[in-house]
């Protein structure tokens, strides 16, 4: 099991970024969450039993229409997310 956090910078709030990310997640075996941060970034935390599946999910975000809105992404490996059973949008 592997978990990653991605902090997205750019025009990523107020454009349906979180909703679109949740839709993309439905096509992959991933769990986690996505939320807006007060500083204008979006935080995504996701995990999967398969590192290739997780990486494919993150690549699908970059390759979607969201890719043009992303200026920077900061990716880090994080501890496994306890209690996550689906991919959700956090308020």
pTM of the model: 0.93
Domain containing 7 equals 2-79
pLDDT for the residue 47: 97
Pairing of strands 70-78, 31-36: unpaired
Active site residues: 18, 36
Place of tokens 């909703």: 19
Number of domains in the chain: 1
Q: Is residue 85 part of a domain?
A: no
pLDDT interval class at 5 (50, 70, 90): very high
Write out pLDDT tens, residues 64-87.
Answer: 999 999 999 999 999 998 888 899
Using CA atoms, how far apart are residues 65 and 21, in angstroms rounded to an integer? 11
CATH code where residue 66 lies: 3.30.70.100
> Which residues have a Cβ under 8 Å from the Cβ of 31 and sit 6 or more positions away?
46, 47, 48, 81, 84, 85, 86, 87
Write out pLDDT tens, residues 21-57.
Answer: 999 999 999 999 999 999 999 999 999 999 999 999 9
Coil/strand/helix, residue 31: strand
């Amino acid at each position: 099991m592997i978990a990653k956090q991605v902090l997205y910078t750019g025009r990523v709030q107020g454009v349906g970024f979180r909703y679109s990310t949740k839709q993309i997640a439905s096509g992959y075996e991933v769990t986690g969450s996505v939320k807006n941060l007060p500083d204008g970034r979006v935080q995504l935390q996701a995990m999967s039993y398969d590192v290739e599946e997780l990486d494919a999910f993150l690549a699908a975000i970059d390759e979607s229409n969201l890719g043009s809105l992303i200026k920077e992404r900061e990716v880090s490996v994080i501890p496994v997310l306890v209690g996550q059973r689906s991919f959700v949008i956090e308020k």
